Amino acid sequence: MWKWLHPYAKPERAYQLCVTLQPYFLWPGILCLVIGSIWGLAFAPQDYQQGDSFRIIYIHVPSAILSMSTYTAMAVAALVGIVWQWRTAFMAMIAMAPIGAVVTFIALFTGAAWGKPMWGAWWVWDARLTSELILLFLYLGVIALYGAFEDKQQAGKAAGVMALVGVVNVPIIHYSVEWWNTLHQGATISKFDKPSIAPEMLWPLLIALLGLALFIAAVTVMRMKNEIIRREYHRPWVKALAAQALGDNHAV
Amino acid sequence: MQFDNLADFFAMGGYALYVWLSFGVSLLALLWIVLDSAATHKKLLKTAQSEQARQARIDAARKAKPINSESEQAGS
């Protein structure tokens, strides 16, 4: 049943897949981010309590949701790498870690810039904020642990175990606003209920969410390509690739 | 458009600092990661090319002096 998937464990096939997918992720992603931001910044109605400061939602919520999704995807890749011994799965894992860290940083930073005018503080040691900060440290830990090993198969296993153990933090972040009394508000859209937000405000948010998701996917395949080349740089197919890519650049 | 003019838009109802700081830093962070990935890609291709050229030179040198390499092997 899953046999069609097996050729993609081969680095060269995985590389070709990344090359094919990259433009479909990158350009629609950027387009959706631009549309979502402009719509959210200029055309969505003002919040009746927060005025225009609520417009930070159009990056804060997508980045916060996707920081958790990216972590989950990274942990799935780690699991596949550990259980089925796929080298390419570990490459996917380490390709996702930096963009995941950047997205988590954005969620924390925009949260601080939203917290200052609304709560009166850039930072509070609230359950939601603290668990999201731990998520950032988990990403950085996976990157650092992977970098600490010379043998990249060993590095993948060690960082993979760390990524898997860290998954426990994802539900903690999600339910932190319900389990503890937090300054942070409860879920607005990521719940099994009607979103508690007006449709004129929700649409640009969903477009920004889709855009950031596609952007993360695009950066993942870009970095995945880099990981494959890093591990296969002595192979003939990489030589042909380098000659073609660098030759073209010289011609321009 | 929710704002009467461009100045109002940039003022963000008095929250200009926080809104534009958020969007600005996010834009820079996303731009940085995508440019870093693209730059690394180019660097890796160059490394691959120079590394393989070096390997080709080593192989050519070995082939050019078969007697030396044989005597080395015999000596070792």
The interface predicted TM-score of the complex, written ipTM, equals 0.89
Taking only the tens place, the pLDDT of each residue in B15-73 is: 999 999 999 999 999 999 999 999 999 999 999 888 888 888 998 998 887 655 555 55
The per-residue pLDDT for A189 is: 78
- Per the prediction, chain A carries an average pLDDT of 91
Q: Does A55 touch chain B (CB under 8 A)?
A: yes
Give the total residue count for chain A.
252
Which residues of A fall within a CB distance of 8 Å from B45?
Answer: 229, 238, 241-242, 245-246
The per-residue pLDDT for B30 is: 97
Q: What is the chain A residue with the closest CA to B27?
A: A106
Looking at the complex, report in whole angstroms how far the Cα of residue B41 sits from the nearest Cα belonging to chain A.
5
Contacts of A135 (CB under 8 A, 6+ apart): A67, A68, A71, A104, A166, A169, A170, A173
Task: Give the pLDDT mean for A93-102.
Answer: 97
Task: Give the pLDDT mean for A90-112.
Answer: 97
Q: Which residue has the higher pLDDT, A139 or A4?
A: A139
Q: Say whether pLDDT at A71 is over 90.
A: yes
Q: Say whether pLDDT at A222 is over 50.
A: yes
- The ranges assigned to domains in chain B are 20-63
Taking only the tens place, the pLDDT of each residue in A19-63 is: 999 999 999 999 999 999 999 999 999 888 888 999 999 999 999
Q: Say whether pLDDT at A107 is over 90.
A: yes
Task: Give the pLDDT mean for A81-100.
Answer: 94
Q: What is the chain A residue with the closest CA to B15?
A: A53
| CB-count exposure of residue A63 (10 Å: 0-12, 13-18, 19+) | buried
Instruction: Give the separation between CA B43 and CA B37, rounded to whole angstroms.
Output: 10
CB-CB under 8 Å, A241 with B45? yes
A160 and A201 in contact (C-beta within 8 Å)? no
Question: What sign does the CA torsion over A13, A14, A15, A17 have?
Answer: positive
Q: Say whether pLDDT at A251 is over 90.
A: no
